Amino acid sequence: MTEKECFRCKLVTYDEIVEWTTDLAKKIRACNCKPTVIVGLTRGGWVPARLLCDLLGVKKLYAVKTEHWGVTANPNGKALLTQELNVDIEKEEVLLVDDITDTGESMSIAKAHLQDMGPEVLKCAALLHITHSKFLPDFYSVEVPEDNWAWFIFPWNRNEDLRTLIPKTLYEEKGVADIQKAFREQFQMNIPLEDVNITLGDLEAAGKVKRSGEKWTRA
Ligand code: ADE
């Protein structure tokens, strides 16, 4: 039997995303910031960045990419900038946007990169800010105390996160109902049986899990 990982997951809804970006836009306006460019940190920052463009009337939306959390809730490894910005931002008022500052590494690396490109103003915003982050964004909507840390399952990442989390319930072979039960116990979250079945099908096709009769195991 392999190790049984347990940590709290919290499912985020699109309604919460709209609520948090609307709140961020209010905070950004209140400090008289008028970004002319928004840069979304790939991939979590894309949806919030696009919504902020709409809320703040910004037409220029660009992206940079950092890679750190290779898989769901795996805090190992350093963040790396893997896609630079390839447009001129001198004379621009830039807002860098991500979904969450957790270690704060991605935001800090991306900010340093943009700063080197000589923008007029550079500010950073995240929907959620975990208090242990070594990077403090200029704007955030929700402060999450570090002892309330959770893996936030953002709506644009739900299937990917389930594909990472469900195999963690297979530390021993299980049927579908027991996978659902183990998911609740390990990650404090309910998932519909239909989603367990869809995810197992995807994982089976990818060669990551296998079925024998009614039971599933890691491949
Ligand atoms: N990315 C980095 N930290 C995260 C967290 N706690 N939840 C979701 N995505 C993250």
pLDDT (0 to 100) of residue 66: 94
**Ligand 1 centre from 156 Cα, in Å?**
13
Confidence check: pLDDT of 196 > 70: yes
Q: Are 152 and 101 in contact (CB under 8 A)?
A: no
**pLDDT tens, residue by residue, 119-175:** 999 999 999 999 999 999 999 999 999 999 999 999 999 999 999 999 999 999 999
Q: Is 126 in the pocket of ligand 1 (CB under 6 A)?
A: no
* Cα dihedral 202, 206, 209, 212 sign: positive
Domains of the chain: 11-151 (3.40.50.2020), 156-218 (1.10.10.10)
69, two tokens: 């959390």
Averaged pLDDT for residues 54-58: 98
Confidence check: pLDDT of 26 > 70: yes
Question: Residue 144: which H helix or E strand, with range?
Answer: strand 139-144
Q: Is 187 in the pocket of ligand 1 (CB under 6 A)?
A: no
Backbone dihedral region of 101: left (phi > 0), alpha (psi from -120 to 50 degrees) or beta?
beta
């195999």: which residue's tokens?
167
DSSP symbol at 174: B
Q: Is 152 in the pocket of ligand 1 (CB under 6 A)?
A: yes
Bridge partners, residue 164, by sequence: none
Read off the pLDDT band of 100 (50, 70, 90): very high
pLDDT (0 to 100) of residue 70: 52
Ligand 1 atom nearest to CA at 102: 3
